[in-house]
């Protein structure tokens, strides 16, 4: 591995945004046919470094060498022409265009001067099937689940014929099956001599797929491991710079009082049918299932974001079936949605304003507000949730994980009775993840009924006192904590 | 202007968000005034300043409503026609039907607001894009305005009505200018300090985020179009007072002037950033520019060219500032 010359070398790469320095001289070599994991806490600079390699962002200082020649891509197109492909952390698909058009955007296959639609759709279908996704390539991307969109993004990158591929948190929205399909594709690319930079907060997958690990902290490379199967504990210590005792806190004992009850709930789009369950005060109720099982649709309906065709939702025995998010929020039922960019934050507004948007009623006195008052309100939560940023800073300038903390802060500031968390730790680093688990338990201890939807099985198992498993829109069963393990959950999920 | 904007970057960061986009235009306005002070000897006088204020009243009132629409990511092309309709309704009720102004004005404003209600409902209930809905309303209201008198103008308002635009109370403010200033202040306070005003930023930033945050996006949207049309009607009252007559061909392409003022003032057409503070400056820039060009005896055709160039300059300077 080391005797071959690297495809890409970085030397002393620095990046500053105004007075803030986010990369302090990073050196990195990527060889053909190796998978290098780039790890680090939220805001460590992983995405920034990747964006520099892919021409999305320009470095302030430092040099790059590509196949022995100096390399300084002015824009993503230039990087792509050299053979650098990247999947961005945030989904960047065009919602109105078809799946096939998205996969081939900017490089449509042509035949005698015209767009060759058939070739394009065939290739797109083949690319998606390799990832285990069976969808019509001519349907628009709009309305597909986050997980499916993620797979399309991956298919797009895989068809680039890149010599270096950067995957920035490709599995954040994926379940186990899809992740394995992705890994098979990565193995294939590896054997073809493609170099891969792999960024993820799911440390278990790192050992399975990577040849080398590079750990970053606060914009600098702090440690390198020459193999992939490093104990997770060691990686975590390198990432956070201290040792971390445990991941999941102890579960509080739920009360006997039922807070939320769902009876015979069905959706007009048939995404889920006849769902029945109840959540007690102080209980953490997990919902597991494969991609497309209808989990997101179910919790969106419960919180008024999507319509309901039959059934009802009760809170403390009173019917509260919501018709809009406003209805649900008034009753103290809030949703922390799965896609933060589209549903969670306004990227070009400040952190304080974003936290304020769900709480304007509370911040206002007789309907009067000021920027200063919003700022003061938010400051508290920025500190409490450990958001790495200032209140006046735009949310778009935060790292992905810190944006997620802003979304959480915005909702938990409302002191709700029922909190529904859809993929609460998507893109969140280990240290912050365990603090979010602590927050969830705190909520439960205060008597809040919490519902957690997650594709991360370990997470659902770790935080829930009961787990409902969904399969193809139906409720496959509810498991008590004692009976729930990866085997029993997967058995129910795949029936 | 570009160079000045660059210098102020650091300061803009700590300013209020609603002023953020307005520091650039403010500098532009100051530079423009300084230039005209030296270029002509008539520009710098109280009298000329009051003239400018009189000339911008119609645009000023209209642009406040347009700002709110653009802030939520919408557009209202109908304001010029709605203004004409409100004026014709006023003329008909007062002069033809003989109703007193105290009833005719509120009814005219009500008719104007009704147009906004229709546009708002088309947009929220039937998902018609704002551009199309208000384009249709523009045509419909212009037609209605013409139908009232079959295209004829109406004259014969009571004498005091025209005096509102002429008599300077305390040697200073005409009533029409006072109306504009009240609209500015109320608009500014509402947008910056009221719950309902802050919500507009959230909707313009990302309507789905706003909806999930429990904001009643549909109601706020309808309300914004109603207010915009109401203010278009009010600007019609101001124009009627100034002209002492009403005609159905008034206000053609005024919507474009209003949009220009909003954009020059730093509000982004994609919504979510900017505000009425910037629009006030945008209106002043257009007013001062027209006044100055007249003092310099620049032909009206050349004036159009120059105003177009200013729009481009203002927007480019903003984009440049943001990218840095
Ligand atoms: N446009 C910007 N302006 C100012 N600061 C920025 C900007 N983009 C990123 N940053 C800052 O740079 C730092 C590194 O961000 P980056 O997105 O690279 O982190 P990351 O390691 O990818 O984190 P995550 O795991 O959360 O995705 C963060 O502190 C972030 O706030
Ligand atoms: Mg990142």
pLDDT in tens, B104-136: 999 999 999 999 999 999 999 999 999 999 999
Pairing of strands A258-266, A275-280: antiparallel
Residue A123: partners with Cβ closer than 8 Å, 6 or more residues away? A100, A103, A104, A109, A159
Are the C-beta atoms of A85 and A122 separated by less than 8 Å?
no
Atom in ligand 1 nearest the alpha carbon of residue A18:
4
What does pLDDT average to in each consecutive run of 10 residues of chain A (495 residues)?
Answer: 76 88 92 93 90 92 92 88 87 84 82 83 88 87 84 86 90 82 89 92 87 91 88 84 73 89 93 94 93 90 94 94 92 89 87 91 87 90 86 86 86 89 85 83 92 90 93 92 88 82
SS3 A37: strand
Q: Where are the domains of chain B?
A: 18-323
Nearest residue to A239 (alpha-carbon basis) of A27, A37, A41 = A41
- The four Cα atoms A45, A47, A53, A57 give a dihedral, to 10 degrees, of -90
What are the residues facing A191 on neighbouring strands? none
**C-alpha B25: how far from chain center:** 16
- Angle, CA of A334, A442 and B214, to the nearest 5°: 15
pLDDT at res. B223: 97
CB contact under 8 A, B192 and A370: yes
User: Quick check: B319 contacting A, CB < 8 Å?
Assistant: no
Q: Point out the ligand nearest to the CA of residue A41.
A: 1
Are the C-beta atoms of A290 and A173 separated by less than 8 Å?
no
- CA–centroid distance, A56 to ligand 1, in Å, is 13
- Which residues of A, range 294-323, sit inside 8 Å of B by Cβ? 305
The Cα–Cα gap between B314 and B28 comes to 8
Q: Ligand 1 atom 8: the closest Cα is on which residue?
A: A397
When scoring B191, B209, B268 by the number of chain A Cβ atoms within 10 A, the one with the most, hence best to mutate, is B209
- Which residues of B, range 231-290, sit inside 8 Å of A by Cβ? 272-273
CB contact under 8 A, A371 and B272: no
Nearest residue to A426 (alpha-carbon basis) of A90, A131, A132 = A90
Are the C-beta atoms of B257 and B56 separated by less than 8 Å?
no
Residues of chain B predicted below pLDDT 50: 1-18
Phi and psi, residue B154, nearest 5°: -120, 130
Q: Which one of B199, B205, B210 has the shortest CB-CB distance to A348?
A: B205
The Cα–Cα gap between A354 and A409 comes to 9
pLDDT at res. A244: 64
Q: Which residues line ligand 1 (CB under 6 A)?
A: A 17, 20, 22, 40, 42-48, 89, 388, 397-402, 427, 429
Locus of tokens 């520099």: A52
When scoring B16, B214, B271 by the number of chain A Cβ atoms within 10 A, the one with the most, hence best to mutate, is B214
Q: Ligand 1 atom 17: the closest Cα is on which residue?
A: A399
pLDDT digits (tens, 9 = 90+) for A365-407: 888 988 889 999 999 889 888 888 888 899 988 887 788 889 8
List the structure tokens of B189: 């306070």
Burial of A253 (0-12, 13-18, 19+ CB in 10 A): exposed
Q: Point out the ligand nearest to the CA of residue B13.
A: 1
CB contact under 8 A, A343 and B18: no
Phi and psi, residue A471, nearest 5°: -140, 125
Q: Where are the domains of chain A?
A: 8-240, 258-493
What is the third-level CATH fold of B18-323? ABC transporter involved in vitamin B12 uptake, BtuC (1.10.3470)
- Angle, CA of A179, A182 and A186, to the nearest 5°: 135
pLDDT at res. A438: 86
User: Quick check: B198 contacting A, CB < 8 Å?
Assistant: yes
- The four Cα atoms B32, B33, B36, B40 give a dihedral, to 10 degrees, of 170
3-state secondary structure chain B: CHHHHHHCHHHHHHCCHHHHCCHHHHHHHHHHHHHHHHHCCCCCCHHHHHHHHHHHHHHHHHHHHHHHHHHCCCCCCCHHHHHHHHHHHHHHHHHHCCCCHHHHHHHHHHHHHHHHHHHHHHHHHCCCCHHHHHHHHHHHHHHHHHHHHCCCCEECCCHHHHHCCCCCECCCECHHHHHHHHHHHHHHHHHHHEHHHHHHHHHHHCHHHHHHCCCCHHHHHHHHHHHHHHHHHHHHHHHHHHHCEECCCCCCCHHHHHHHHHHHCCCCCCCCCCCHHHHHHHHHHHHHHHHHHHHCCCCHHHHHHHHHHHHHHHHHHHHHHHHC
The Cα–Cα gap between B193 and B274 comes to 14
Q: Ligand 1 atom 9: the closest Cα is on which residue?
A: A397
Atom in ligand 1 nearest the alpha carbon of residue A44:
21
| Residue A427 CA: distances (Å) to CA of A50, A149, A349, A430 | 16, 16, 21, 10
| Ordered alpha helix ranges (H), A385-484 | 400-412, 430-445, 457-463
**Checking phi first, is residue A294 left (phi over 0); if not, alpha (psi -120 to 50) or beta?**
left
DSSP A203-251: HHHHHHH-SEEEEEETTEEEEEESSS---HHHHHHHHHSS----SSPPP
The single-letter DSSP state of residue A482 is G
Residue B273: partners with Cβ closer than 8 Å, 6 or more residues away? A348, B17, B20, B21, B201, B204, B205, B266, B267
List the structure tokens of B152: 């004829």
What are the residues facing A225 on neighbouring strands? A213
Pick the residue from chain A with its C-alpha nearest to B9.
A18
SS3 A259: strand
Q: How crowded is the C-beta side of B93, counted as CA atoms within 13 Å?
A: 19
SS3 A428: coil
The Cα–Cα gap between A277 and A246 comes to 31
Are the C-beta atoms of A372 and B15 separated by less than 8 Å?
no
The Cα–Cα gap between A303 and A326 comes to 9
Q: Which one of B14, B192, B202 has the shortest CB-CB distance to A346?
A: B202
Burial of A460 (0-12, 13-18, 19+ CB in 10 A): buried
Are the C-beta atoms of A152 and A132 separated by less than 8 Å?
no
> Å from B111 to nearest chain A CA?
29
Instruction: Give the residue, out of A45, A240, A427, with the most ligand 1 atoms within 8 A of its beta carbon, to mutate for a pocket test.
Output: A45
Q: Which one of A305, A324, A346 has the shortest CB-CB distance to B205?
A: A346
Contacts of A349 in chain B (CB under 8 A): 17, 201-202, 205, 272
SS3 A345: coil
- CA–centroid distance, A47 to ligand 2, in Å, is 4
Q: Ligand 1 atom 3: the closest Cα is on which residue?
A: A397
First to last CA, chain A: 44
Neighbours of B301 (CB within 10 A): 7
- CA–centroid distance, B184 to ligand 1, in Å, is 39
Q: Point out the ligand nearest to the CA of residue A40.
A: 1
> What strands, in cross-sheet order, belong to the sheet with A20-30?
A20-30, A8-17, A61-66, A69-70
The single-letter DSSP state of residue A252 is P
Pick the residue from chain A with its C-alpha nearest to B195.
A367
pLDDT at res. A21: 87
Residue B43: partners with Cβ closer than 8 Å, 6 or more residues away? B33, B36, B37, B291, B292, B295
A·B CB contacts under 8 A: 79
What is the third-level CATH fold of A258-493? Rossmann fold (3.40.50)
Contacts of B207 in chain A (CB under 8 A): none
Q: Ligand 1 atom 18: the closest Cα is on which residue?
A: A45
Are the C-beta atoms of A216 and A38 separated by less than 8 Å?
yes
Are the C-beta atoms of B190 and B182 separated by less than 8 Å?
no
Q: Ligand 1 atom 2: the closest Cα is on which residue?
A: A397
| ipTM for this prediction | 0.77
CB contact under 8 A, B196 and A367: yes
Q: Which one of A335, A349, A410 has the shortest CB-CB distance to B205?
A: A349
Does A258-493 match A8-240 at the fold level? yes
Q: pTM for the complete prediction?
A: 0.80
First to last CA, chain B: 16
> Å from B256 to nearest chain A CA?
27
Residue A223: partners with Cβ closer than 8 Å, 6 or more residues away? A214, A215, A238
The Cα–Cα gap between A458 and A472 comes to 21
What is the third-level CATH fold of A8-240? Rossmann fold (3.40.50)
């Amino acid at each position: 591995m080391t005797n071959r010359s690297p495809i890409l070398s970085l030397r002393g790469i620095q990046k500053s945004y105004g007075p803030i320095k986010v990369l302090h001289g990073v050196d990195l070599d990527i060889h053909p046919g190796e998978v290098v994991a780039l790890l680090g806490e939220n805001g460590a600079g992983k995405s920034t470094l990747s964006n520099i390699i892919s021409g999305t962002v320009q470095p302030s200082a430092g040099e790059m060498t590509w196949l022995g020649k100096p390399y300084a891509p002015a824009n993503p197109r230039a990087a792509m022409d050299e053979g650098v492909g990247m999947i961005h952390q945030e989904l960047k698909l065009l919602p109105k265009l078809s799946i096939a058009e998205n996969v081939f955007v900017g490089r449509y296959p042509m035949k005698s001067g015209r767009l060759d639609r058939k070739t394009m759709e065939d290739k797109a279908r083949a690319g998606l099937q390799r990832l285990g996704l069976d969808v019509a390539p001519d349907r628009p991307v709009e309305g597909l689940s986050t997980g499916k969109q993620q797979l399309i993004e991956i298919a797009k990158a895989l068809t680039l014929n890149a010599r270096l591929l950067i995957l920035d948190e490709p599995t954040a929205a994926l379940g186990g099956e899809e992740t394995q399909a992705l890994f098979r594709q990565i193995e294939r690319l590896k054997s073809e001599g493609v170099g891969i930079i792999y960024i993820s907060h799911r440390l278990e997958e790192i050992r399975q797929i990577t040849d080398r690990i590079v750990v970053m902290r606060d914009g600098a490379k702090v440690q390198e491991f020459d193999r992939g199967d490093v104990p997770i504990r060691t990686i975590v210590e390198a990432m956070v710079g201290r040792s971390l005792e445990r991941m999941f806190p102890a579960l509080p004992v739920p009360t006997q009082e039922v807070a939320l009850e769902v009876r015979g709930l069905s959706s007009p789009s048939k995404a889920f049918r006849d769902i029945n369950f109840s959540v007690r005060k102080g209980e953490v109720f997990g919902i597991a299932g494969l991609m497309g099982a209808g989990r997101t649709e179910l919790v969106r309906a419960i919180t008024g974001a999507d319509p309901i065709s039959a059934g009802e939702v009760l809170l403390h025995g009173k019917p509260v079936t919501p018709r809009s998010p406003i209805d649900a929020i008034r009753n103290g039922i809030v949703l922390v949605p799965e896609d933060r960019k589209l549903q969670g934050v306004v990227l070009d507004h400040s952190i304080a304003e974003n936290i304020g948007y769900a709480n304007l009623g509370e911040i206002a006195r007789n309907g009067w507000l000021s920027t200063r008052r919003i700022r003061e309100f938010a400051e508290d939560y920025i500190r409490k949730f450990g958001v790495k940023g200032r209140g006046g800073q735009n949310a778009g300038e935060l790292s992905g994980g810190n944006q997620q903390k802003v979304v959480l802060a915005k909702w938990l500031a409302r002191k709700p009775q029922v909190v529904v968390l859809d993929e609460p730790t998507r893109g969140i680093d280990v240290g912050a993840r365990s603090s979010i688990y602590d927050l969830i338990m705190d909520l439960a201890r205060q008597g809040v009924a919490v519902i957690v939807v997650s594709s991360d099985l370990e997470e659902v198992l770790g935080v829930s006192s009961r787990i409902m498993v969904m399969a193809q829109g139906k409720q496959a069963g509810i498991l008590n904590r004692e009976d729930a393990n990866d085997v029993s959950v997967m058995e129910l999920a795949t029936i | 202007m570009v160079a000045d904007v660059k210098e102020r970057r650091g300061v803009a960061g700590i300013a209020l968000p609603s002023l953020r986009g307005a520091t650039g235009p403010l500098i532009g306005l100051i530079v423009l005034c300084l230039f005209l002070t030296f270029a002509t000897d008539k520009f710098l006088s109280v009298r000329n300043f009051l003239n400018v204020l009189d000339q911008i009243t119609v645009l000023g009132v209209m642009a406040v409503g347009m700002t709110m629409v653009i802030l939520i990511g919408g557009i209202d092309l109908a304001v010029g026609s709605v203004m004409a309709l409100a004026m014709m309704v006023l003329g008909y009720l007062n002069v033809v039907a003989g109703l007193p102004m105290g009833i005719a004005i509120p009814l005219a404003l009500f008719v104007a607001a009704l147009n906004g209600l229709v546009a708002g409902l088309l947009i929220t209930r039937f998902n018609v894009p704002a551009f199309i809905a208000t384009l249709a309303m523009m045509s419909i209201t212009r037609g209605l305005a013409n139908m009232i008198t079959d295209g004829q103008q109406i004259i014969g308002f009571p004498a005091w009505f025209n005096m509102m635009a002429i008599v300077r109370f305390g040697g200073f403010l005409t009533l029409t200018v006072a109306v504009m200033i009240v609209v500015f202040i109320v608009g500014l306070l509402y947008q910056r300090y009221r719950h309902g005003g802050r919500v507009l930023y959230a909707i313009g930033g990302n309507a789905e985020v706003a909806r999930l945050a429990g904001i009643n996006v549909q109601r706020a949207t309808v309300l914004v179009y109603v207010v915009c049309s109401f203010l278009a009607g009010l600007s019609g009252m101001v124009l009627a007072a100034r002209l002492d007559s009403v005609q159905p061909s008034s206000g053609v392409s005024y919507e474009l002037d209003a949009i220009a003022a909003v954009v020059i003032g730093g509000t982004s057409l994609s919504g979510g950033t900017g505000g009425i503070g910037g629009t006030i400056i945008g209106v002043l820039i257009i007013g001062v520019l027209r006044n100055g060009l007249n003092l310099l005896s620049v032909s009206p055709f050349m004036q159009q060219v120059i105003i177009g160039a200013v729009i481009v300059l203002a927007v480019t300077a903003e984009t440049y500032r943001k990218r840095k």
